[in-house]
Amino acid sequence: MKKFLVLLASVYAFGANCVVCHNGMYKPSLSNYTAQEIKTALLKYRKSNSDDVMTKIAQKLSTQEIEKLAKQYGKK
């Protein structure tokens, strides 16, 4: 639980630094997904009513930010 809280605090402190969690250790590496897959997932999270971390993060992102993140972290 402590690791999770530290990761959550890092996400909120550093903004949309996706690799804090998605580095292959804690969650799947984002380099395994295409930009379109990341964009689709973030848009789905943004519309969700869930109380999970990804929903809270995605709801803070604009569509332009989501597109930029998807291009930045997606499979090259």
pLDDT digits (tens, 9 = 90+) for 32-61: 999 999 999 999 999 999 988 899 889 989
pLDDT at 14: 46
Taking the chain, what is the end-to-end CA distance rounded to the nearest angstrom? 34
pLDDT, mean of residues 23-40: 89
